[in-house]
Amino acid sequence: MTPTGTLHRLGQSLWLDNITRSMLDDGTLARYVAELSVTGLTSNPTIYNIAIKGSVAYDAAIAAKVREGRTGERLFFDLAIEDLTRAADLFRPAYDRTGGLDGWVSLEVSPHLAYDAAATLAAAKELFARAGRPNLFIKIPGTPKGLPAIEEAIAAGVPVNVTLLFTQEHYAAAAEAYLRGIERRIDAGLSPRVASVASLFISRWDAASAGDLPEHLKNTLGIAVGEQCYASYRSLVASDRFQRLANFGALPQRLLWASTGTKDPALSDHLYVRALAAPHTINTMPEPTLLAFADHGALGGTLSPGGGRSSQTLFEIARAGIDVAALGEQLQSQGAAAFVKSWDELLQVIAAKAGGA
């Protein structure tokens, strides 16, 4: 069995953190599904900026949409929805087989809306309706202003991938928004089977803290935060509150490991895959990480439901001078700003290609 097959058999979903029109056209994504146990994918503004800027695969479609009068964000979302609905159809067997727990793709609202709850909710509803696929998540940042939009979207029946989560507090707030949305649906006599995932970013912790930590603590912070949040997740799923919702048919908001590519070339190229193996979670991997793990990956065990050594590691990191809570807020703000930058560059690339159409 391949390493990816072993991880999938453990109970973790393997999603691809990438999409391009080329991988849809040439069968690469279908091969990952058939051979590497990939059962979903995620996208973001940075991924699409690279995909459209770095190839001619979208040029003909851009030219055609310009002739139809499409420009700017509308044109981009047309392109993205075309890609993601094709991918969603490819993953539909996994979605059907798991009763809606797996087999998802994700489309992000404009990152300019990260701090505007009303506009985020309106965009989420519109994009989900335009896509017309049950297995398409709308990505909404788990910023303080994004949390009300997450609750409202869930209450309205829109599946949500909560993105840009970094700390245990961020995760808990996203989970609370999801639970409130589901509880409102039950109280209104509506189906509670509205799926959600909570995307916790991992490797950015280590990139941000490595220069301030002693050697033995470098590249341990991201995994420790992951272990801490996994313990919270397991506790929540076992809670009386969630079990009551499950009795009505609600799905758990699964914990998703994001940003799992290794940024330090001196480290294992699948460090965060091996370290974060855990049933009933998702690891969305950049393409190089997926291929590296498939080629020579090995598992060393699974995460402890109780958090493992995370408390001790986080204590030592705090003693070394890292304010983990403050760094988490900084990383969330930086992440939102980075997506805005990629989004603006993406629209500039599309405008340039449209101008040459």
Query: How many alpha carbons fall within 13 Å on the CB side of residue 123?
Result: 23
- Three-state DSSP at 80 gives helix
- Within the chain, strands assigned E span 13-16, 38-41, 105-108, 136-141, 160-165, 196-201, 254-258, 281-285
Could you say which of 53, 125, 139, 263 is catalytic?
A: 139
Non-local (6+) Cβ contacts of 190 within 8 A are 157
Please, what is the Cα angle at 293 between 35 and 93, to 5 degrees?
35
User: What's the burial of 300, exposed, middle or buried (CB within 10 Å: 0-12/13-18/19+)?
Assistant: exposed
Order of strands, sheet of 160-165, starting from the edge strand that comes earlier in the sequence: 38-41, 13-16, 281-285, 254-258, 196-201, 160-165, 136-141, 105-108
Q: Are 113 and 120 in contact (CB under 8 A)?
A: yes
The rounded distance, in Å, linking the Cα atoms of 194 and 135 is 10
User: What's the burial of 289, exposed, middle or buried (CB within 10 Å: 0-12/13-18/19+)?
Assistant: buried
Q: Are 91 and 103 in contact (CB under 8 A)?
A: yes
Q: For this structure, is 139 an active site residue?
A: yes
User: What's the burial of 315, exposed, middle or buried (CB within 10 Å: 0-12/13-18/19+)?
Assistant: exposed
The rounded distance, in Å, linking the Cα atoms of 146 and 198 is 13
Q: What share of the chain is helix, strand, coil (3-state, %, to 5)?
A: 60, 10, 30
Active site residues: 139
